[in-house]
Amino acid sequence: MGGTLNPNKQIPHVEKPGHSDTVPKEEKEKHLTTPGAAKEVIRAEGDLGDKVALACFSVSNFGVFASSEQAVGLFVTGAGVAAQFEGSIEVTGDCQVTGAMHNRGDYTCDGNHSVGGNMTVVGDIQLAGPGRDYAEDFDVSGVAGAEPGTVMVLDDGGGIRISDQAYDRRVAGVISGAGGYRPGVILGREASATKRSPLALMGQVYCRVDASSAAIAVGDLLTTSSTPGHAMKAADPAQAFGAVIGKALRPLAEGRGLVPILVALQ
């Protein structure tokens, strides 16, 4: 049975006739991609283009193992394609591509995907999972109580604070992340000295609602209430102009609760 390859295991040395293990310093300092700097060069010469310089096979282990203690473990170059693989490729470390990368099949990323430049998409962008709203990070003042689902209004410092007045035209949105929903897209994610929270500006989000003054039905317009951080039914259209948060997606007959709403500031 084949064992696991241990790159640190001492390999028995077999000295070739006429070959010395002592490499002069000037030879070591040569560019390692130059064939003249190699200990041994294998060439495939001939008139046909199907010659193979080196063929390696293994039944139960690595076909080729390359390692370097101080530099590149394996360097490959070619007039056309530098390397071609038939089968899967596994990379356990970082993968850096300085040129263009073309993928003709599907691309799956189980971790984070960071893009330092622009991203152009010809097809659709589909966000699967619990991401339901389009949010933006804001600095939060008066952090206590500003939890997901809380109705927020603009403050004088350019951030947001918990709403505490009915029909407040400063209403900015609802903090995303309550009831199993989370943001699908977050803008303005940056470092700040104060706490920042994603504020749902569009889409579906769970919102704290107070139905004490009026029962809430599906489709009712919602506005801010005097209950801190809660929305209520916008029963007065005249006062609601400019203070609407969105529409209720589920009813709430009485009391307070967490209700999914469709954010549509107006």
Q: 199-232: per-residue pLDDT in tens?
A: 999 999 999 999 999 999 999 999 999 999 999 9
Phi and psi of 185, rounded to 5°? -135, 135
Least confident of 118-122, 162-166, 169-173: 118-122
Does 19 score more than 80 pLDDT? no
pLDDT at 150 over 80: yes
Segment 163-169 shows an average pLDDT of 96
**Homologous superfamily (CATH) for 134-264:** Head decoration protein D (2.40.300.10)
| This model's pTM is above 0.75 | no
Report whether pLDDT(130) > 90.
Answer: no
What was the pLDDT predicted at 29?
A: 47
With 60 as the cut, is the pLDDT of residue 30 above it?
no
Pairing of strands 160-162, 151-154: antiparallel
Residue 43 has pLDDT above 60, yes or no: yes
pLDDT of 67 reads: 86
User: DSSP for 142-180?
Assistant: S-TT--TT-EEEE-TTSSEEE--STT-TTEEEEES--TT
The 10s digit of each residue's pLDDT in 51-110 is 777 888 888 888 888 888 888 888 888 777 888 888 888 888 888 888 787 878 887 888
What is the pLDDT at residue 61?
Answer: 84
Mean pLDDT of 25-35: 52
Whether the pLDDT of residue 23 is over 80: the answer is no
Let me know: does 231 contact 209? Beta carbons within 8 Å.
Answer: yes
Per-residue pLDDT for 12 more than 80? no
More confident residue, 136 or 84: 136
Q: What is the mean pLDDT of residues 149-158?
A: 93
Range list of β-strands (E), the chain? 131-139, 151-154, 160-162, 171-175, 182-187, 196-210, 221-224, 231-233, 244-248, 256-264
d(Cα 255, Cα 146) in Å, to the nearest integer? 20
DSSP code of residue 66 = -
- Provide the pLDDT for residue 88: 83
Q: What mean pLDDT, rounded, does the chain reach? A: 83
The pLDDT value recorded for residue 11 is 44
Tokens of 19: 């070959």
